[in-house]
């Protein structure tokens, strides 16, 4: 169970940050990731919480965001990036290593990033992969919405502000939720749906959790995705299924996710599937990819 502790003043400040420019948000996150985890002291294990994520102190106070896990990383992201640079190894190509030193896993899990624009049909296809190939499907969006709807969650209030603005939620929150869910599942095959949305998210995940085997990219024209989302919005009740939010999400996806896809493509780690056809025909493309790599469930 994901938990976060905020002071009221911190929450108010972070909510203001949620509506500020994307560059300001990125700067505060970078400051947070350079804070040595050891200075905070490792929290005690909890039987019902695999990960504690806290966002505390304001940017004006110089502390920004920070996060801590049940098992503190032995190196911060800043140190890991310096180490990679010193060995001429980028954080993404570092995924070829078995596991980062501070991973919560003892054996490298299979991790597939599932990307595609809003309404591309990622969730539908992932559900079938779970049944056929024994994967655990973790939707970054669903985990964020669950936390947003959790009674009394001030982190949830902050998430809600970002989603309404069509902006990316701070990666400490998203990575914390994903990592916790992966550990709690007890499994070793994961479809990470809707993540990473930016290169720094990809780098942070691969530096602290596990390297990705490849990206499964669902390509779909924006006009078709818009049609699907507006239809879904008639019954979904989701605050972001309206034309204004939808178009903001398209812009965000183009500007931030395309560079991630291009980077992994340059490494030969992208499998692209067209989503213009029926769900069954789309899945036949997906199955052709997975049958070459994974045994089907009995």
Enumerate the known binding-site residues for a ribonucleoside 5'-phosphate.
145, 167-169, 194-197, 201, 238, 249
User: CB-based contacts of 79: which residues, under 8 Å, 6+ apart?
Assistant: none
User: What's the start-to-end Cα distance of the chain, in Å?
Assistant: 31
The CA distance from 229 to 166, in Å, is 14
Count the alpha carbons within 13 Å of 188 in the hemisphere toward its beta carbon: 6
- Give the pairing of strands 189-193 and 110-116: parallel
Residues β-bridged to residue 115: 217
- Binding-site residue ranges: 119-124, 145, 167-169, 194-197, 201, 232, 238, 249, 277
Q: For residues 69-95, b (16+ Cβ closer than 10 Å) or e, as one string?
A: bbbbbebbbeebbeebeeeeeebbbbb
The residue ranges of DSSP E strands in 75-133, in sequence order, are: 110-116
- Binding-site residue ranges for ATP: 119-124, 232, 277
């Amino acid at each position: 169970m994901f938990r976060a502790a905020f002071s009221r003043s911190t929450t108010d400040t972070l909510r203001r940050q949620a509506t500020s420019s994307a560059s300001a948000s990125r700067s505060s996150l970078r400051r947070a990731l350079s804070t040595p985890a050891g200075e905070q002291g490792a929290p005690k294990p909890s039987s019902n919480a695999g990960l504690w994520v806290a966002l505390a102190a304001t940017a004006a106070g110089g502390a920004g965001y920070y996060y801590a896990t049940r098992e503190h990383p032995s190196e911060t992201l800043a140190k890991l990036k310096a180490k990679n640079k010193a060995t001429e190894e980028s954080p993404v190509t570092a995924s070829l290593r078995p596991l980062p030193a501070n991973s919560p896993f003892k054996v490298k899990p299979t991790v597939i990033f599932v990307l595609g624009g809003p309404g591309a049909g990622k969730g539908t296809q992932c559900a079938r992969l779970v049944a056929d190939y024994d994967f655990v499907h973790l939707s970054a969006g669903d985990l964020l919405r669950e936390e947003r709807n959790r009674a009394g969650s001030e982190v949830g209030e902050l998430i809600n502000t970002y989603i309404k603005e069509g902006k990316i939620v701070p990666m400490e929150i998203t990575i914390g939720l994903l990592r916790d869910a992966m550990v709690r599942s007890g499994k070793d095959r994961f479809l990470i749906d809707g993540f990473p949305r930016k290169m720094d998210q990809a780098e942070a995940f691969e530096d602290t959790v596990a390297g990705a085997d490849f990206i499964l990219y669902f390509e779909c024209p924006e006009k078709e995705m818009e049609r699907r989302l507006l239809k879904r919005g008639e019954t979904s009740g989701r605050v972001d299924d309206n034309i204004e939010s939808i178009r903001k999400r398209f812009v965000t996806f183009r500007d931030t996710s395309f560079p991630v896809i291009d980077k992994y493509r340059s490494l030969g780690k992208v499998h692209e599937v067209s989503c213009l056809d029926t769900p069954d025909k789309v899945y036949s493309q997906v199955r052709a990819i997975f049958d070459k790599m994974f045994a089907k469930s009995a």
